[in-house]
Chains A and B, each alone.
Chain A
Amino acid sequence: SQQGEEDPQALSIQEGENATMNCSYKTSINNLQWYRQNSGRGLVHLILIRSNEREKHSGRLRVTLDTSKKSSSLLITASRAADTASYFCATATYSGAGSYQLTFGKGTKLSVIP
Chain B
Amino acid sequence: GAGVSQTPSNKVTEKGKYVELRCDPISGHTALYWYRQSLGQGPEFLIYFQGTGAADDSGLPNDRFFAVRPEGSVSTLKIQRTERGDSAVYLCASSSGGRGTYQETQYFGPGTRLLVL
A residues 1-46 in Cβ contact with B at 8 Å: 1-2, 4, 30-31, 33, 35, 40-45
Interface status of A114 (Cβ within 8 A of chain B): no
| Interface members, chain B 34-63 (any A CB < 8 Å) | 35, 37, 39-45, 48, 50, 55-56
Task: Kindly state the interface size class of chain A when it binds its partner.
Answer: 20 to 34
Asked if A43 and B91 make an inter-chain contact with CB atoms under 8 angstroms apart, the answer reads yes
Nearest Cβ on chain B to A56's Cβ, whole angstroms: 10
Inter-chain CA distance A100–B30, complex, in Å, is 12
A residues less than 8 Å from B45 (CB atoms)? 101-103
A72-114 CB contact bits vs B (8 Å, 1 = yes)?
0000000000000000101010011111111111110000000
In the complex, what residues of A have CB within 8 A of residue B55's CB? 95-97, 99
A30–B91 alpha-carbon span in the complex (Å): 22
Whether A99 pairs with B31 at a CB distance below 8 angstroms is yes
Contacting A at CB under 8 A, from B51-108, are 55-56, 89, 91, 93, 95, 97-99, 101, 103-108
Are A45 and B105 in contact (CB-based, < 8 A)? yes
B109 within 8 A of A: yes
A48 within 8 A of B: yes
A residues neighboring B (CB under 8 Å): 1-2, 4, 30-31, 33, 35, 40-45, 48, 88, 90, 92, 95-107
Interchain residue pairs with CB less than 8 A apart (5): A33-B106, A45-B106, A88-B42, A100-B106, A104-B42
